Amino acid sequence: MSMNVCTDQLVLLLAEPDQIASLSDLSLDPSLSFLHTDAAPYPKNSGRAEEVFLAKPDLVVTGTFSLHNTTSLLETLDFAVEEFAYDQSVDTIPGEIRRMGALIGQDAKAEQIASTYERDLADLRARQCPMKPTAIAYEQNGVVLGEGTLADSVIDAAGLTNLATELGYSAMTPLPLEELVSHQPDIVIVSEPMADAPALADQIAHHPALRALETSRIGAFVPRGAWACGGPFVIEAVRALTELREEIASCDPAR
């Protein structure tokens, strides 16, 4: 039974269907779960201890940012609970895949997925060159993803410089639009709004000052949900940004 959107996806990747007792409600959110379509057939939970007590799973997997009172209560009731930290680096992902595989008896599958991810990440990193354009992830309400975030690690792996980190921002932090505009990043990565849930928080991506940056590439370049959680699908975010970097700053001096 998974009670966290990030552990949901590791379970979906590795477990056999009859091993999955339940996934979190957020497993269906396309902005958070790269595997939201795969999650549809399974029962859902809202992270309450009562739901676990009724389901009586052999194992509960959750995240360190999930409801701590639920986790402690389940441990008091002698349920087997394993917490997974939110991955802050592309390099920690293989270990989390292998750990989940060991927990649910899917070591061979986990090893195959983790090894493929490691190989693909190494191949993409090998395409880097000294030219490192600036990029910034500018999300709802002008929040940027700075040092210590998974997005920061993805940007670096793609051979780009995270402007938010360069400016001294860490974690998820609001950045004044004026500061972003004054530094004119080469790439501005905005979040893709949900078509069925319009929000004022998304309007920052359409601000005239941002759109007036003639030399900046602005768009939702990262596949939806690809860097919300640590998993092998993060490689799609690295690949998308690597290909974008190669479009705007080729490593070939002849081009």
Calculate mean pLDDT across residues 203-222: 88
Q: How many CB atoms lie within 10 A of CB 229?
A: 27
DSSP string, 48-105: -HHHHHHH--S-EEEETTS-HHHHHHHHHTT--EEEEPPP-STTTHHHHHHHHHHHTT
Work out the average pLDDT over 182-200. Answer: 80
Identify the band that residue 140 occupies on the pLDDT scale cut at 50, 70 and 90. Answer: confident
Distance CA 40, CA 69 (A): 27
User: What integer is the mean pLDDT of 5-32?
Assistant: 97
Q: Model-level pTM?
A: 0.93
Spell out the long-range contacts of 152-156 with Cβ–Cβ below 8 A and sequence spacing 24 or more.
Answer: 153/88, 153/89, 153/90, 153/91, 154/90, 154/222, 154/227, 154/234, 154/237, 154/238, 154/241, 155/241
Tell me the pLDDT of the chain averaged across its residues: 92
In this structure, what is the dihedral angle of CA atoms 145, 148, 150, 156, given to the nearest 10 degrees? 90
Q: Kindly indicate the confidence band of residue 141, based on its pLDDT and cuts at 50, 70 and 90.
A: confident
- When pLDDT is cut at 50, 70 and 90, the band that residue 108 belongs to is very high
- pLDDT average, residue stretch 5-11: 97
Percent of the chain at pLDDT above 90? Answer: 79
